[in-house]
């Protein structure tokens, strides 16, 4: 940066083609956004075009004695610098979002909060679509996800509330019911230092549902084996199967009493151990074919019913829940 005439020591910003922006237009094109003590020098036109809130913010006349940095007016924001960087990154570079881990979920939450706050509708819609993929409405989509139990579900509940994305609530609240109690009480902390906690009503819903799900799970085990023990069930090898029922019941119950109200957890892994066609452990006795088929069908149908009732468990009733999902659980 050099000063040509010596009288006006205005810093120049060089563009790729050698023109000087400072020469083309006065510095009102630029603003310094300050978040958590970190300054971001931005072109106001780009942000104003995407966000009416920024547009209004930038059009407020600056008082004569307002703070200037590099000759640019300073605008202080209440956001964290990490969240603002994420927003600016996606607005400037169009960065795509990949659902892989909590880091990505943290970024998604920054985008949703700031896009909502600054009224950047297209980014908000795109980000909510990504959130919905993590907390879907059908059981088949849920089963395909494979990673469910992150404390970031608390963030998802709050984002769903903020943006009125009601379909995200049931499965996000269900995940909250699977978390260790300290997360429900203390919340979850994002890398930018912000802490997300459930509000009082959602916390109460989770406490109630957690107990209900544990009851539901133990009831399901009881009913299931009662049915298998009944004379109408024509088991091919009663002595062996009854012995194995006891093992399966014990393993299933220990999962439940380990603090998991996991009523949507698939039984496949557990049942595979006792299925002649699936197990690699030949030393382990297997259930007869009829018991295997019956157990798989019953557990699957329980999970399907539980999924269908999920919104109801948290005080909601949505027409668009489980659309096309009731018949999609035909196989593994
Ligand atoms: Zn049997």
Is residue 145 located within the same domain as residue 277? yes
Q: What would the mean pLDDT of 64-77 be, rounded to a whole number?
A: 81
- Report the separation in Å between the CA atom of 223 and the middle of ligand 1, taken as the mean of its atom positions: 16
- Report the separation in Å between the CA atom of 222 and the middle of ligand 1, taken as the mean of its atom positions: 17
Does residue 332 lie within any of the structural domains? Answer: no
- Report the separation in Å between the CA atom of 265 and the middle of ligand 1, taken as the mean of its atom positions: 23
Does residue 318 lie within any of the structural domains? Answer: no
Is residue 57 located within the same domain as residue 112? yes
Is residue 99 located within the same domain as residue 145? no
Element spanning 31, H or E: strand 30-35
Confidence class of residue 28 from pLDDT cuts 50, 70 and 90? low
Does residue 46 lie within any of the structural domains? Answer: yes
Does residue 15 lie within any of the structural domains? Answer: no
Three-class SS state of 14 = strand
Is residue 95 located within the same domain as residue 187? no
- Report the separation in Å between the CA atom of 289 and the middle of ligand 1, taken as the mean of its atom positions: 7
Q: How many domains does the chain have?
A: 2
State the residue for tokens 């919104």.
311
- Ion ligand 1: residue ranges with CB closer than 5 A: 235, 241, 288, 291
Is residue 51 located within the same domain as residue 76? yes
Could you give the angle at the alpha carbon of 302 between the alpha carbons of 182 and 144, nearest 5°?
70
- Report the separation in Å between the CA atom of 252 and the middle of ligand 1, taken as the mean of its atom positions: 18
Quick: pLDDT tens for 295-317: 999 999 999 999 999 999 998 88
Is residue 292 located within the same domain as residue 203? yes
Is residue 122 located within the same domain as residue 139? no
- Report the separation in Å between the CA atom of 286 and the middle of ligand 1, taken as the mean of its atom positions: 9
Is residue 171 located within the same domain as residue 51? no
Least confident of 195-199, 271-275, 322-326: 322-326
Mean pLDDT computed over every residue of the chain? 82
Whether residue 20 is predicted with pLDDT greater than 60 in this model: the reply is no
Whether residue 7 is predicted with pLDDT greater than 50 in this model: the reply is no
Q: Indicate the pTM of the whole model.
A: 0.81
Is residue 128 located within the same domain as residue 223? no
Q: How far apart are CA 279 and CA 283, in angstroms?
A: 10
Residue 70's domain is classified under what CATH number?
A: 3.30.710.10
Q: In sequence order, what DSSP letters do the residues of 205-225 get, joined into one string? A: HHHHHHHHHHHHHHHHHHHHH
- Report the separation in Å between the CA atom of 237 and the middle of ligand 1, taken as the mean of its atom positions: 5
- Report the separation in Å between the CA atom of 304 and the middle of ligand 1, taken as the mean of its atom positions: 24
- Tell how strand 68-69 and strand 72-77 pair up: antiparallel
- Report the separation in Å between the CA atom of 61 and the middle of ligand 1, taken as the mean of its atom positions: 81
Which of 85, 113, 132 corresponds to the end of one domain? Answer: 132
Q: How far apart are CA 171 and CA 156, in angstroms?
A: 10
227 closest CA partner among 291, 274, 277, 286:
291
Phi, psi of 39 (to 5 degrees): -95, 140
What is the span of the domain harbouring residue 118?
Answer: 21-132
Which residues are CB-contacts of 128 (< 8 A; sequence separation ≥ 6)? 112, 163, 165
Is residue 121 located within the same domain as residue 145? no
Does residue 328 lie within any of the structural domains? Answer: no
Is residue 222 located within the same domain as residue 126? no
Is residue 45 located within the same domain as residue 140? no
- Report the separation in Å between the CA atom of 291 and the middle of ligand 1, taken as the mean of its atom positions: 4
């Amino acid at each position: 940066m050099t000063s040509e005439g010596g009288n006006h020591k205005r810093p120049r910003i060089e563009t790729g083609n050698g023109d000087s922006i400072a020469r083309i237009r006065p510095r009102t094109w630029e603003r310094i956004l300050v978040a958590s003590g970190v300054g971001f020098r931005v072109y106001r036109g780009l942000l104003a075009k995407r966000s009416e809130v920024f547009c209004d913010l930038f059009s407020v006349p600056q008082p004569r004695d307002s703070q200037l940095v590099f000759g640019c007016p300073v605008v202080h924001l209440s956001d964290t610098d990490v969240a603002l960087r994420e927003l600016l990154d996606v607005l400037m570079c169009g960065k795509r979002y990949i659902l892989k881990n909590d880091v990505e979920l943290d970024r998604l939450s920054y985008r949703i909060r700031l896009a909502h706050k600054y009224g950047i509708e297209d980014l908000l819609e795109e980000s909510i679509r990504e959130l919905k993929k993590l907390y879907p409405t059908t059981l088949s989509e849920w089963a395909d996800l494979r990673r469910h139990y992150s404390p970031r579900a608390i963030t998802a509940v709050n984002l769903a509330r903020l943006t009125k994305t009601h379909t995200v609530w049931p499965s996000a609240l269900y995940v909250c019911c699977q978390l260790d109690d300290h997360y429900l009480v203390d919340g979850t902390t994002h890398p930018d230092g912000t802490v997300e906690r459930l509000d009082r009503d959602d916390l109460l819903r989770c406490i109630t549902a957690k107990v209900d799900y544990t009851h539901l799970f133990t009831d399901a085990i009881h009913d299931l084996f009662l049915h298998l023990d009944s004379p109408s069930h024509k088991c091919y090898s009663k002595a062996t199967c009854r012995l194995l029922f006891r093992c399966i019941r014990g393993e299933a119950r220990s999962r439940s009493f380990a603090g998991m109200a996991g009523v949507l957890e698939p039984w496949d892994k557990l049942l595979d151990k006792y299925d002649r066609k699936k197990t690699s452990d030949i030393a382990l006795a297997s259930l007869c074919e009829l018991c295997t088929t019956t157990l798989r069908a019953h557990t699957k149908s329980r999970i399907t019913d539980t999924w269908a009732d999920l919104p109801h468990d948290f005080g909601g009733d949505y027409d668009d829940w489980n659309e096309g999902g009731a018949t999609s659980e035909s196989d593994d």
